[in-house]
Structure 1
């Protein structure tokens, strides 16, 4: 958005007074202010235009100091205003006064201050970007921790003492009984005593009559 050159306002007021109000004098006092010291301060139209130009120049500098506030077109307009004011001051007799000369000087200050602020911003912006992009320094290397002495291995827990006469479990006893019954025992031949053995020579039978 193109900014309006504020110093064009007092210059335009001066042109209006010169061309449209020829009977108005810039040196005539508009009002008189009595100071504390008792002196009377006479304020003329010329003083009002100069004070207005100084205040507007201050606003122009504030606008130019903001980031991105002034563009190339704004500087070009300020240059055009200064060139037109300087041409009127040199070429037209009615503009050859101290009041208009000071207004032209304010227009020149506006143009130069805008160029200076833009140049300063152009040199500062890359430096800020470089600072933002610059990587952070690496932290210093930390010293390696000292080796800790190896701790002795923990002793193994002692095994519980075994009983002297261990009692066999009931399951093993039952298995052994079943195995004993499942195996058939071979019968041993009985040995007869000599008294019980039968007589191999039977007694003779009695004779029949």
Structure 2
């Protein structure tokens, strides 16, 4: 059952919870700063951390998309639902129209597009279909 569940849905739920519990400005708040050898200070915001963690989940999703089967197809279908919910939130809901959420929205788009493409290519290779029309 865990293989059917799109991991980026976890990020979406975390964003929504933080938005409603902490408020609009949580993503711009500074999480930490790290001094660099150059003398610069690397300031990391909560939004940066959210994106980095979501990118890790996207990476796992892309690895999982190489599997074929009914669980994988359902995972891709649910990934489309996560993308649509995220798109609607970005367009309609106040507090979601910012760069952090737009980058997350882009990741949900990449998740479902890459998932379908990788699954299609993998299935073609597994079933021995090559070339295209006329081969």
Q: State the TM-score bracket (shorter-chain normalisation).
A: 0.7 to 0.9
The residue that corresponds to 1:91 in the other structure is 92
Residues 78, 110 of structure 1: 8 Å contact kept: yes
| 1:106-159 Cα deviation digits (max 9, x unpaired) | 00100001100111022112228xxxxxxxxxxxxxxxxxxxxxxxxxxxxxxx
Do the aligned partners of 1:64 and 1:70 also contact (CA within 8 Å) in 2? no
Task: Report the Cα distance in structure 1 between the residues aligned to 2:93 and 2:119, rounded to whole angstroms.
Answer: 33
Aligned-partner Cα distance in 2 for 1:87–1:67:
29
SS at match of 1:43: strand
Mapped to 2, the partners of 1:23 and 1:89 lie a distance apart of 13
Q: Which has the higher contact order (CA 8 A, sep 6+)?
A: 2
Q: Which runs of 4+ in 1 moved over 6 A?
A: none
- Contact 1:70/1:118, CA 8 A, preserved across alignment: no
- 1:10 matched residue in structure 2: 11
Question: Distance in 2 between the 1:21 and 1:68 partners?
Answer: 40
Q: CA deviation at 1:47?
A: 0.2
What residue in structure 2 maps to residue 104 of structure 1?
105
Between 39-48 and 24-33, report the one with greater CA deviation: 24-33
Contact 2:24 2:95 in 1 (8 A): no
Partner SS state of residue 27, structure 2: coil
- Quote how far apart the aligned CAs of 1:59 are: 0.6
| TM-score, structure 2 normalization | 0.86
**Aligned twin of 1:198:** none
* CA distance in 2: counterparts of 1:65 and 1:35, whole angstroms: 39
In proportion to residue count, which structure has more helix?
2
What do you get for the CA RMSD once the two structures are aligned?
1.9
Mapped partners of 2:70, 2:107: distance in 1: 20
Report SS of the residue matched to 1:33.
strand
Q: TM-score, length-normalised on structure 1?
A: 0.57
What residue in structure 2 maps to residue 73 of structure 1?
74
* Residue range with higher mean Cα deviation, 21-30 or 79-88: 21-30
Partner of 2:41: 40
Q: CA deviation at 1:15?
A: 0.5
Count of aligned pairs between the two proteins: 128
Unaligned runs of 5+ in 1: 129-209
